Amino acid sequence: MIPVQGFAGAKVAVLGLGRSGLATARALQAGGAIPVCWDDNPAAREKAEAEGFVTADLLKHGAFDDIASLIVSPGIPHLYPDPNRVIAAAWAAGVPVDNDIGLFFRSFATADWAEHDTPPRVIAVTGSNGKSTTSALIHHILTEAGKPAQLAGNIGRGVLDIDPPEDGGVVVLELSSYQTDLARALTPDVAVFTNLSPDHLDRHGGMGGYFAAKRRLFAEGGPDRAVIGVDENEGRYLANQLSEGAADDRVIRVSADQKLTGPGWQVFARKGFLSEYRKGRQAASIDLRGVQGLPGAHNHQNACAAYAACRTLGLSPRVIEDAFHSFGGLPHRSQTIAQAGGVRYVNDSKATNVDSAAKALCAFDNIRWICGGLEKEGGLGGLLDALGSVKKAYVIGREAAHFALQLTGVEAEICTDMETAVTHAMAEAEEGDTVLLAPAAASFDQYDNFEQRGDDFTARVRAALGGA
């Protein structure tokens, strides 16, 4: 646990009592603060009370009279589409609003660090797609290299729930736009921006607000090094804003779409090969084509970002390359779950938007594509250029017929449910095919989350293969 500093003896309100909310209450208490907790869900309040925490309705008159700060869980809207009423009440009372990420950065460094030979560091990763894989890959590389490392944030443990870092330890944080948007302190040593595509637009008031939330990770604290994906205009803009000139190697530009040139520090992937260039000269090259845990150009971009972040810590290209080959990938993200009869079965249930699904479709050949679900704003137009390898689509979801109508030029079967889609795709698959779940839609019309959807696909495939 990371005890929260700066609130000893003060009352601090905690809104939202899920995993991060309870971890925040514990960390506040460990730092000497007095947590005052609230959640609209009675079961969540009962769980907090069972741990001995005080709960109080923060909408009651005078609830903020003696509160030093309000700490908000990431799923609670603070501005768009409308501020939560408790947050609005805190504003009216002049009470500062923060989240657990802000508390982490203000509490991470302690006096004990004076005894460390190498101060601990934080690598923070944000972006639209690939941030989970990039974060997990960085953590894997560090662990394989013998570095003490912890993975937290939007993946793994809550940020305040991790152990105090060891001498030379590294904390790898995956940070969503919900987390970066509100944090009052953001001071990583290395910050990574993977890419940007439309997502969560209602929460951020549009694309500009969404990018602004990501940009705060780089603008608020000023990381020592910034690893920036420059395959979109927003990344190119961000890299330019952070750089003092073409040769400024505090900014490492990353691409899976183009060769990067110039006197600075670049890492890019082309035709399956990762290349590192510094001061206009090639410093390293890695063949990514045989790395099973990182298939496709989108994962090659993740590999480039993770490589660059680890190089800033002094790891050698050979050590990083060896770790690439032992990386198994993440569940629900281009995860190979079985291979049988010359057919590969891939679970990419995390491909919940058009951009991430398009990248998954470009990673494989001869695809029998299971897709559909709760369609996101903007339609499926961004997918059409990525359908060249699709032999047939098997569409699930309550709006399967409408989804299928948009897949022009592709044979599409309306299956509605996962059982039918898996059964038909497997029956029709031939040697050399890939049966790919990459929905391009949210899961909430039929599942609680994308993990449950991916687990359903995986279970049905493995059952049909006799547990293979």
Annotated binding site for ATP: 127-133
Amino acid at 254: V
Residue 337: HSE in the Cβ half-sphere, 13 Å Cα cutoff? 25
> Residue 95 gets which letter from DSSP?
-
Residue 242, token pair as written in the block: 């952070």
Amino acid at 458: T
H-type alpha helices, 79-206 = 85-93, 100-107, 131-144, 177-180, 201-204
- Residues 196 and 231: their CA atoms lie apart, in Å, by 9
- Residues 369 and 435: their CA atoms lie apart, in Å, by 6
CA dihedral 245, 250, 256, 260 (to 10 degrees): 40
Of residues 118, 311, 115, the one with CA closest to residue 225: 311
Of residues 206, 204, 182, 152, the one with CA closest to residue 1: 152
Cis before 35 (ω within 30): no
Token pair 């809550």 in the structure block, residue: 158
Q: Which residues are annotated binding-site positions?
A: 127-133
- Residues 196 and 229: their CA atoms lie apart, in Å, by 9
- Residues 384 and 354: their CA atoms lie apart, in Å, by 10
CA 108 to chain centre: 21
CA angle in degrees (0–180, nearest 5) for 114-141-265: 85
Q: Is 189 within 8 Å of 122 (Cβ atoms)?
A: yes
Residue 342, token pair as written in the block: 């010359």
- Residues 222 and 78: their CA atoms lie apart, in Å, by 24
Token pair 């059952």 in the structure block, residue: 463
Q: Is 157 within 8 Å of 150 (Cβ atoms)?
A: yes
The CA distances from residue 363 to 173, 386, 451, in Å, are 26, 10, 21
- Residues 28 and 12: their CA atoms lie apart, in Å, by 8
Residue 106: HSE in the Cβ half-sphere, 13 Å Cα cutoff? 17
Amino acid at 337: I
